[in-house]
C-alpha cells in the first residue's frame, strides 16, 4: 500500500475576481483548484491527479455553502477522495484526504492568502524560503535514500509516520530539518538521516530556482520502510 505524505503550503494568490488556478502536491498526488467568481459566489473545480503518471483520478465541481464546500469521490480501486475547500475571503484552504480500507494513505493541504488588509499583495522575497503556490513551483525529488529501521524500534514493534519540515535549497539539497511529528526509539532521527541525503530538482519562482519550505512524511512499517 502506498504511504502517507502530508504537505502544507502557504502562499499569496492573485486577486481572485478572475479565474485562478491553485495547486498543491505531494509525492503521490497533485490537487489543483480552479477558482472563478467573487467571494460568496465562487465556483471551484477541483482535480486530483496521480503525481507519477499525471492521470486525472477525479474532477469535481463545488460551490460555496457558507464558507466550506465539500465532496467525497469513490474510485474504482476502493480509494476514497475526501475534498474540501474553505474560503474566508482573506484566504482559501483546500484539503484532500485519500483513504483506502478506512486508512488514510495520503493527505494534502494548501492555504493561499488572497490579499493583506491593505488589499495589496506583497511581493515574495527570493532571499527567504518560500511556500509552494502561485508562481512558486514545487521541488521534485530526483534521488531518495530509504531510512534504516532502528533495531530498538523494530524490537519494540514501533511503527507510524514521522513528519519533517525541511528547506529544499536552490541547489536541490535538503537543509534544516525540523520534526513536526516524532516517533520514539530513534525513528525521527532515522528519517532525518535519510531525507538529508535526498536530492531534488529545486523549486522555482517564475522559472528561477529558490529555497522552498517543504513537508515530508516517512512511513515506518514493520514489514518494510518505504517512501513514495
The model's pLDDT over 34-92, given as tens digits with 9 standing for 90+, comes to: 888 777 778 889 999 998 888 999 999 987 655 678 889 999 988 999 998 888 776 78
Q: Is 68 exposed, middle or buried (0-12, 13-18, 19+ CB in 10 A)?
A: middle
**4-48 pLDDT per residue, tens:** 444 444 444 544 445 678 888 877 888 998 888 777 778 889 999
Q: Quick one: pLDDT at residue 9?
A: 47
Has residue 117 got a pLDDT over 70? no
pLDDT at 51: 85
Q: What band does 132 get if pLDDT is binned at 50, 70 and 90?
A: confident
For the chain, the first-to-last Cα distance in angstroms comes to: 10
Residue 197: what pLDDT?
96
The answer, yes or no, to whether residue 2 has pLDDT greater than 50, is no
Bridge partners, 72 (sequence order): 82
pLDDT given for residue 201 in this prediction: 94
What does the pLDDT average to over 95-107?
84
Residue 186's pLDDT is 93
Stretch 164-174: mean pLDDT, rounded? 93
Query: Mean per-residue pLDDT for 123-148?
Result: 79
3-state secondary structure the chain: CCCCCEEEEEEECCCCCCCEEEEEECCCEEEEEEEECCCCCCEEEEEEEECCCCCEEEEEEEECCCCEEEEEEECCCCEEEEEEEEECCCEEEEEEEEEECCEEEEEEEEEEECCCCCCCCCCCCCCCCEECECCEECCEEEECCCCCCCHHHHHCCCCEEEEEEEEECCCCEEEEEEEEECCCCCHHHHHHHHHCCCEEECCEECCEECCEEEEEEEEECCCCEECC
Give the chain's mean pLDDT: 80
Q: Is the pLDDT of residue 187 over 80?
A: yes
- Rounded CA-CA distance 225/193 in Å is 14
**φ, ψ dihedrals at 188, nearest 5°:** -65, -40
Q: How confident is the model at residue 192, as a pLDDT?
A: 95
pLDDT value for 165:
86
Domains of the chain, earliest start first: 6-122 (no CATH), 140-226 (3.30.2420.10)
Q: Average the pLDDT over each of 33-42, 141-150, 156-165 and give the range with the smallest value.
A: 33-42
Q: Phi then psi for 152, rounded to 5 degrees?
A: -65, -40
Q: Are 188 and 162 in contact (CB under 8 A)?
A: yes
Averaged pLDDT for residues 84-113: 80
Find the Cα–Cα–Cα–Cα dihedral 49, 50, 53, 54, rounded to 10°: 20
Which pLDDT belongs to residue 80?
93
Amino acid at each position: 500500500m502506498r504511504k502517507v505524505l502530508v504537505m502544507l503550503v502557504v502562499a499569496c494568490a492573485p486577486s481572485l475576481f478572475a479565474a485562478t488556478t491553485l495547486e498543491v502536491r505531494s509525492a503521490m498526488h497533485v490537487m489543483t483548484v480552479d477558482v472563478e467568481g467573487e467571494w460568496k459566489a465562487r465556483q471551484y473545480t477541483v482535480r486530483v491527479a496521480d503525481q507519477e503518471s499525471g492521470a486525472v483520478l477525479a474532477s469535481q465541481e463545488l460551490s460555496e455553502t457558507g464558507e466550506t464546500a465539500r465532496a467525497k469521490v469513490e474510485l474504482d480501486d476502493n480509494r476514497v477522495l475526501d475534498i474540501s475547500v474553505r474560503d474566508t475571503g482573506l484566504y482559501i484552504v483546500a484539503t484532500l484526504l485519500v483513504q483506502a480500507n478506512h486508512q488514510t494513505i495520503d493527505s494534502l493541504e494548501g492555504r493561499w492568502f488572497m490579499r493583506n488588509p491593505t488589499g495589496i499583495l506583497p511581493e515574495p522575497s527570493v532571499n527567504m524560503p518560500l511556500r509552494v503556490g502561485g508562481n512558486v513551483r514545487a521541488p521534485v525529488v530526483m534521488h531518495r535514500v530509504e531510512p534504516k529501521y532502528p533495531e530498538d524500534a523494530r524490537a519494540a514493534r514501533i511503527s507510524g509516520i514521522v513528519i519533517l519540515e525541511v528547506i529544499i535549497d536552490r541547489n536541490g539539497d535538503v537543509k534544516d530539518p525540523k520534526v513536526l511529528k516524532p516517533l520514539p526509539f530513534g525513528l525521527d532521527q532515522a528519517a532525518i538521516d535519510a531525507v538529508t541525503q535526498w536530492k531534488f530538482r529545486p523549486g522555482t519562482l517564475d522559472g528561477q530556482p529558490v529555497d522552498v519550505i517543504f513537508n515530508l512524511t516517512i512511513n515506518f512499517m514493520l514489514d518494510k520502510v518505504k517512501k513514495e
